[in-house]
Amino acid sequence: MVWERQQEQGPRRHEDRSRGRAVKMVRRSQRQKLQKFTGLNWNKEQGQVKRSCPSCGPELGGEEKKGRGNPISVQLFPPELVEHIISFLPVRDVVALGQTCHYFHEVCDAEGVWRRICRKLSPRLREQGSGVRPWKRAAILNYTKGLYFQAFGGRRRCLSKSVAPLLAHGYRRFLPTKDHIFILDYAGTLFFLKNALVSSTLGQIQWKRACRYVVLCRGAKDFASDPRCDTVYRKYLYVLATREQLEVVGTTSSRACDCVEVYLQSSGQRVFKMTFHHSMSFKQIVLVGQETQRALLLLTEEGKIYSLVVNETQLDQPRSYTVQLALRKVSRCLPHLRVACMASNQSSTLYITDEGGVYFEVHTPGVYRDLFGTLQAFDPLDQQMPLALSLPAKILFCALGYNHLGLVDEFGRIFMQGNNRYGQLGTGDKMDRGEPTQVYYLQHPIALWCGLNHSLVLSQSLDFSKELLGCGCGAGGRLPGWPKGSASFVKLHVKVPLCACSLCSTRECLYMLSSHDIEQHPAYRDLPASKVVGTPEPNPGSGVLQDPGGTAWACKEYLSQIYSCSTLQDRMEKMKEIVGWMPLLAAQKDFFWEALDMLQKAAGGVGQGPPTPES
């Protein structure tokens, strides 16, 4: 029996040895193929893998250089294969890989790579859009899109992200209403983000903001609601859209016509629609006035402004009536002007022309007095008469609050005007300004927003990080980190997304929209040296450099403000504000603010040791 078992085990051992040799041969051949096509060399003595660079190949020793020829380079691979491999990387890694060398820069910038990435990010996107690089633009738009919000009240005061609609092609505009949020993408689709009750991870039911979405309508160009800062008044949503209309009843031929559709913000139900003639094409809509006399201002592609008046209190009644569309007075009195964009409030309207000029309409005497400091030129019988603002350069965009406004010119300078009771102009004091006044320590903003009695600026530092600055009234937590408010722009305690491009603040929440469009480059120009504040100028008589009204004057003003404070704590608070005024880097401002906090606590007897990370 033992001999028979040994005879049976002999052939089995022979088969196992043959099988092991075959496996080793297969593994050796696979390793050789891998080294040949990927440039990976295994060093048995040192147990290391050497990777060849794309252009030069692997680093070889002296004996290896003599015995081998030129290695295989990545450049010899088919471009389609390299693009296919790179398309599996995240967008951030693709951009980083394109900055390593010239070869990878060309490969990572190819439209084939971005077409595959875009199909993965937005599988339902059928068309690539427009522009010089349509697929790359579409991929980056969908990769960077996001809506972030931070509630002013409650226990959790951190930045949260809303639900991201899968059908959205980037984010172009957003508007919060009383109960929900509306977002318009680059494909003309308007989304309806709803607040709802959801279950948390602990099994509790909680009220979550912007957690569900539906498509409200397609073919939208622009939308607007009640222009007041309080979202309680935003009952209806006015949507400017394009619809196909039949030319003759009973036929199949149709043509595109612009229309305004009115929706209930609470349910998304359409309650009213007005259609215009096919020869009129509009691009922007804003609202002004009270509910019973709501004026709709429509901007055409040619730069003309038309208006019509509706009564919002009768929109929910099932009846039809005709409204009259008339040319606005700014287009009738100044027919040579071509308006580029509009901004409105309940009692005023601002127009920016294509040449950078600014014209104003003010409809109430109280707002006129706050904005201009006088009622000398106000005519209550002719409230639509446009008033021109005197500005030193071309204006690019603006922000309009209830009784104050902000303007940004082509050099990136910020000008504020109007009521300054709470310090919402950011000039360092609480004196009203009847004409545009420059805020010298702020430049090149990304976005500007003016509320009821505070202002916000979204800016970018030299290291491309974003920060949010604010001034004015800080009640209700509307200036996070500065509950007492500030008469100058200070850095708020808000984590700003890397690709944030616009913002909005309501009574309950702060919203920031994230989206990056590669077709929109910075439009700011370099300010001439003769116009830079604080630039030393030579004295014509002696040739000595002077600084009239510049940095030296500002430093003296800062010292006088510190001297005027009575207590040490007040001087510390004033110094914190002055640090926010100075044109310093974000890291430098954080350093000075942290150091001042340590000195202030030490002077008050609160903790003599170093600050903890929680503080």
In angstroms, the CA 212 to CA 165 distance is 9
Task: Give residue-wise pLDDT tens across range 147-163.
Answer: 998 888 766 667 888 88
How many whole angstroms separate alpha carbon 419 and alpha carbon 406?
12
Distance CA 128, CA 120 (A): 13
Q: Residue type at 15?
A: E
User: Per mean pLDDT, which of 39-48, 423-432, 557-566 is the most reliable?
Assistant: 423-432
Cα 3 to Cα 10, 11, 14, 16: the distances in Å are 11, 14, 17, 20
Q: Which residue has the tokens 């006129």?
A: 368
Highest averaged pLDDT of the listed ranges 280-284, 371-375, 515-519 = 280-284
* 79 has a pLDDT exceeding 80: yes
Question: Domain of 117: which CATH number?
Answer: 1.20.1280
Is 54 domain-assigned?
A: no
Rounded to 10°, the helix 568-581/586-604 angle is 180
Establish if 82 belongs to a structural domain: yes
Give the least confident one: 227-231, 313-317, 320-324, 571-575.
320-324
- Domains held by the chain: number: 1
User: Per-residue pLDDT for 581 more than 90?
Assistant: no
Q: Which of 70-74, 325-329, 457-461 has the lowest mean pLDDT?
A: 70-74
Q: Which residues contact 146 (CB under 8 A, 6 or more apart)?
A: 161, 162, 164, 171, 497, 499, 513, 514, 515
Please give the pLDDT value at position 539. Answer: 46
- For residue 580, give the DSSP letter: H
User: Does residue 500 form part of some domain?
Assistant: no
Look at residue 109 and tell me if it is in a domain: yes
Residue 534 pLDDT grade (very low, low, confident, very high; cuts 50, 70, 90): very low
Q: Which residue has the higher pLDDT, 212 or 396?
A: 396
% of the chain surpassing 90 pLDDT? 33
Confidence tier at 569 by pLDDT (50, 70, 90): confident
Q: For residue 603, which phi and psi values (nearest 5 degrees)?
A: -70, -30
Say whether pLDDT at 605 is over 70.
no
pLDDT at 533: 53
Contact by Cβ (8 Å): 385, 328? no
Buried (b) or exposed (e) across 134-171, using 16+ Cβ within 10 A? bbbbbbbbbbbbbbbbbbbeeeeeeeeebbbbeebbbb
Residue 98: inside a domain: yes
Residue 558 has pLDDT above 80, yes or no: no
Is 88 contained in some domain? yes
Note the pLDDT of residue 609: 45
Pair 471, 486: CB distance under 8 Å: yes
Is the pLDDT at 373 greater than 90? The verdict is no
pLDDT, tens only, 253-309: 788 999 999 999 888 899 989 899 889 999 999 999 988 889 999 999 999 999 999
Domain span at residue 102 reads 74-125
Cα–Cα distance for residue pair 592/180, rounded to 1 Å: 40
Q: Is the residue at 114 inside a domain?
A: yes
Q: Which residues contact 400 (CB under 8 A, 6 or more apart)?
A: 343, 344, 345, 348, 350, 450
Residue 523, both tokens: 């439009």
* Distance in angstroms (rounded) separating the CA atoms of residues 396 and 406: 11
Query: What pLDDT sits at residue 572?
Result: 84
Would the pLDDT of 215 be above 60?
yes
| Rg over CA atoms, the chain | 32
At residue 497, the pLDDT reads: 92
Reported as a single tens digit per residue, the pLDDT across 388-419 is 888 889 999 999 999 999 999 999 999 999 99
Q: For residue 235, give every residue at least 6 positions away whose Cβ sits within 8 Å of its Cβ, in sequence order, or none.
A: 178, 226, 264, 265, 266, 312
112 is a domain residue: yes
- For residues 580 and 573, give the distance between their C-alpha atoms in angstroms, rounded to a whole number: 11
Residue 349 has pLDDT above 60, yes or no: yes
Average of per-residue pLDDT values in the chain: 80
Q: What is the pTM of this model?
A: 0.76
Three-class DSSP category at 115: helix
Contact between residue 268 and residue 192 where contact means Cβ atoms under 8 Å apart: yes
Phi-psi region of 373 (alpha: psi -120 to 50; beta: other; left: phi over 0): left
